[in-house]
């Protein structure tokens, strides 16, 4: 069973006592393993920016304009994927720009929460 932090919304292990992201104490599990429904902080949407959603626009625009250089991968901290994009871009004279355009559109159309969960927390390197 996964547990969600009531402050930032991060997913935590069911045995965790503190949030792995923001270190907030998690609600204790009731005997029998049942955990009552947790209410997520209504201000958590402002926390997504602090968790990495601020990189969404920069990475998306760089992916569309400079996708073949892999700049958007480096912005998100995916150095291996960035080097692969850069080398392939140089070898194919920028044909990999199509990948960058597609990824840029994907980044920009996701919500902040979805972007953070997929690319910052989930570390999804491609598409």
Whether residue 6 is predicted with pLDDT greater than 80 in this model: the reply is no
How far is Cα of residue 115 from the mean position of the Cα atoms in its chain? Answer: 5
pTM of the model: 0.62
Q: Which residue has the higher pLDDT, 67 or 2?
A: 67
CA–CA gap between residue 9 and residue 40 (Å, rounded) = 6
pLDDT in tens, 87-122: 999 998 878 889 999 999 999 999 988 898 898 888
66, 69, 73, 78: CA torsion to nearest 10: -170
Name beta bridge partners: 4: 11
CB 98 within 8 A of CB 118: no
Whether residue 1 is predicted with pLDDT greater than 70 in this model: the reply is no
Helix (H) or strand (E) holding 3: strand 3-4
pLDDT for residue 64 = 94
Mean pLDDT, to the nearest integer, of 59-74?
Answer: 93
Question: Both tokens of residue 81?
Answer: 């994927």
């Amino acid at each position: 069973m996964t547990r969600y932090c009531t402050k930032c919304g991060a997913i935590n292990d069911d045995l965790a006592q503190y949030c792995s992201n923001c270190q907030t104490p998690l609600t204790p599990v009731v005997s029998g393993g049942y955990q009552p429904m947790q209410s997520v902080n209504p201000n958590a949407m402002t926390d997504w920016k602090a968790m990495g959603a601020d990189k969404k626009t920069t990475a998306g625009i760089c992916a569309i304009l400079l996708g073949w250089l892999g700049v958007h991968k480096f912005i998100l901290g995916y150095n291996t994927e960035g080097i692969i994009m850069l080398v392939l871009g140089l070898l194919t004279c920028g044909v990999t720009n199509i990948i960058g355009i597609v990824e840029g559109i994907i980044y920009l159309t996701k919500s902040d929460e979805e972007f953070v969960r997929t690319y910052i927390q989930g570390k999804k390197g491609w598409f």
